[in-house]
Structure 1
Amino acid sequence: MQRPIATGDRDVSLLLRLPIELRRHIYSYVLPHTSRVPVSLQRVAGEPEKSEYNLTFVRETPGTGTWRMQRTLPKTDRETGNEVVWRRGNIAILAANHQVHEECTDMLYGESLFVIDVAFDSIKFRYRWVVPSTNLTPSRSISFLEHFSQRNLMRIKNYIINVEHVDNYTGMIKYNFGGPGLVAGISQKTEDLANLLSVVPYINRLHVHMIDGAISRVRFPSGRIHRVQDENNYTESEKMLNPFRRLYSVRHPQVTGVSVDFAEDLEKCMRSSRVMT
């Protein structure tokens, strides 16, 4: 039997009289949200398949005339998060009242998966959405720390973060920096991002991936020997992820693109509780 509506409840919206679990279920039909769509399906029917890898010649040993054939994956295949797309919804409901606004924004930011690309000169939010009629997935990059308010940045609980490291050759072409300056620039960007994440009350999922963003050897077959994910370059590359060590109580941390030992150590560090002194 339904209870009579009390006098004090007469001005309360019927929506707000529902349990929060039901309200959140209703919000899920209205608000934008992320989902996973296999990359192979993110194209128009009949579009030719992309090449799985590029075949390029690289110098076997510097100073010699010996060359060998090497497979080089396209950059998009070395990134993570390419399967994450936004299902576009409607945010007009946020203007209903303060309570609905707070509940919806908590759900919009707290349950969606944000893909962030960190490079020498930027921290970008990768916004890729799906067009249902064609399976096209247009995308745009948005300056992450400047676009969203600090309050909403604190609501985000799930991240995939690509940190792009390049060799000195590519660094000079793209950024006019190489050597220690290149490493310092990328490290500063990871530190800026880590400064934000370290004050988020609770992070559910954090996948940090180091990618080799060097220019394809198809365009510049110069025989460069530096590869971010080569064993002899791990030590330099891994320094750029050290700012993430200040994070704590991450429920599901994952680190890839680096050595196994470093990944396990960093994951353990981010999973641990904060030590109060």
Structure 2
Amino acid sequence: MHEASSSSPEQASRSPLLRLPIELRRHIYHYVLPTTSTCDVRLQRKDFEQAERSEYNLTFVRENLGNGVWKMQKTQPKTDRETGNDIVWQRGSIGLLATSHQIHEECVDMIYGENVFVIDVAFDSIKFRYRWLLPSNLTPSRTYSFLDHFSQRNLMRIRNYVINVEHVDDYTGMIKFNCGGRGLSAGIRAQVQTLVDLLSVVPCLHRLQIHLIDGAISRVRFPSGRVHRVQDEKNYSQSQTVLDPFHRIYGVRKAEITGVSAEYGEALGRAVTATRVPA
């Protein structure tokens, strides 16, 4: 005598994995798919002890007082000026994406929606920084053109960003990009605007960390502490305006703005976390 089945023929034909609640399936996917985590990458430098002794660099800065007065300024080295260096990918398997349409959609939602993507914006590029963790605890990295490397559909799934915007000084701008002055700031702002065009239509951004790398501060470590950069202090307030396009974003759950003045950072943080008022 056969025992009556409580499940429908459609449910009986489904994969045992798909019969599980979505919460359990996501828990299983987590052990298989690539994920991001934080790692103190400073510990992997062979010269870590020597680097620790070089706590700061020295910079000559001309005060904007019309009297030609110069002052010496302590600045932090490169590893403390960029954000996202501690974000590493644990390499997993994406074979699950080829099993079924439903599993594919559930997996890519996790890969893009739950992990943190580090983006570097410069005068001539918007790069995705991919740093992965090896069994040897080394963390090699490479960059990809962010808007070209991923499909538009997957770009819309990303919810967590760490964004570095590099505003170099006029001297570096002329050397690297053959552009300076207002044109340099306009070019960087245009790249920020291109990125914001994407972020402004992504629903429910969870985390947005924006850091402005000031070109007046050298990103090269000099253990000797010698003078290495000359830059007008007034450019500090001007350079942060390249972040203005981010004011178009709203509804971010958690935002952090660094590398700018306290007033500017607080204002931009309030803007991106605000709820849009219906017209």
Please give the TM-score of this superposition, normalised by the length of structure 1. 0.88
Deviation of 1:66 (Å): 9.1
Deviation of 1:32 (Å): 0.2
Deviation of 1:262 (Å): 0.9
Cα separation, partners in 2 of 1:61 and 1:259, compared to 1, 3 Å: closer
Q: Indicate which of 165, 168, 174 corresponds to 1:166.
A: 168
Q: Match of 2:276, as an amino acid?
A: R
Work out whether residues 62 and 70 of structure 2, in 8 Å CA contact, stay in contact via their aligned partners in 1: yes
Matches within 5 A, 1:174-189: 174-189=176-191
Secondary structure at the aligned position of 1:210 is classed as strand
Cα separation, partners in 2 of 1:146 and 1:168, compared to 1, 3 Å: same
Task: Specify the alignment match of 2:263 in structure 1.
Answer: 261
Task: Specify the alignment match of 1:50 in structure 2.
Answer: 51
Work out whether residues 124 and 143 of structure 1, in 8 Å CA contact, stay in contact via their aligned partners in 2: yes
Matches within 5 A, 1:73-112: 73-112=76-115
Matches within 5 A, 1:140-155: 140-155=142-157
Cα separation, partners in 2 of 1:223 and 1:49, compared to 1, 3 Å: closer
Matches within 5 A, 1:10-89: 10-43=12-45, 49-51=50-52, 52-53=54-55, 55-56=57-58, 58=60, 70-89=73-92
Task: Give the fraction of aligned pairs with identical amino acids, expressed as a percent.
Answer: 55
Deviation of 1:55 (Å): 4.2
Work out whether residues 126 and 147 of structure 2, in 8 Å CA contact, stay in contact via their aligned partners in 1: yes
Cα separation, partners in 2 of 1:244 and 1:47, compared to 1, 3 Å: closer
Deviations for 1:117-142, whole angstroms, at most 9, x for unmatched residues?
A: 0000110011000112x210000011
Structure 1: 5+ residue runs without aligned partners?
Answer: none
Deviation of 1:4 (Å): 4.0
Structure 2: 5+ residue runs without aligned partners?
Answer: none
d(CA) in 2 for partners of 1:73, 1:35: 25
Please give the TM-score of this superposition, normalised by the length of structure 2. 0.87
Deviations for 1:132-190, whole angstroms, at most 9, x for unmatched residues?
A: 2x210000011101110000000000001000011111111111100011000000000
Deviation of 1:69 (Å): 5.7
Secondary structure at the aligned position of 2:144 is classed as strand
Q: Match of 2:126, as an amino acid?
A: I
Task: Specify the alignment match of 1:225 in structure 2.
Answer: 231
Cα separation, partners in 2 of 1:31 and 1:254, compared to 1, 3 Å: same
Q: Match of 1:224, as an amino acid?
A: V
Secondary structure at the aligned position of 1:80 is classed as coil
- 2:248 is equivalent to residue 246 of structure 1: yes
- 2:210 is equivalent to residue 208 of structure 1: yes
Structure 1 window deviating more from structure 2 (33-42 vs 99-108): it is 33-42
Q: How many residues align?
A: 270
- 2:121 is equivalent to residue 115 of structure 1: no
Work out whether residues 58 and 74 of structure 2, in 8 Å CA contact, stay in contact via their aligned partners in 1: yes
Cα separation, partners in 2 of 1:61 and 1:105, compared to 1, 3 Å: closer
Q: Indicate which of 153, 156, 159 corresponds to 1:157.
A: 159
Q: Match of 1:20, as an amino acid?
A: I
Work out whether residues 43 and 135 of structure 1, in 8 Å CA contact, stay in contact via their aligned partners in 2: no
Deviation of 1:67 (Å): 7.8
Q: Match of 1:50, as an amino acid?
A: A
Q: Match of 2:231, as an amino acid?
A: I
Deviation of 1:73 (Å): 2.8
Deviation of 1:7 (Å): 1.9
Q: Looking at both structures, which has the greater relative contact order when contacts are Cα pairs under 8 Å and sequence separation is at least 6?
A: 2
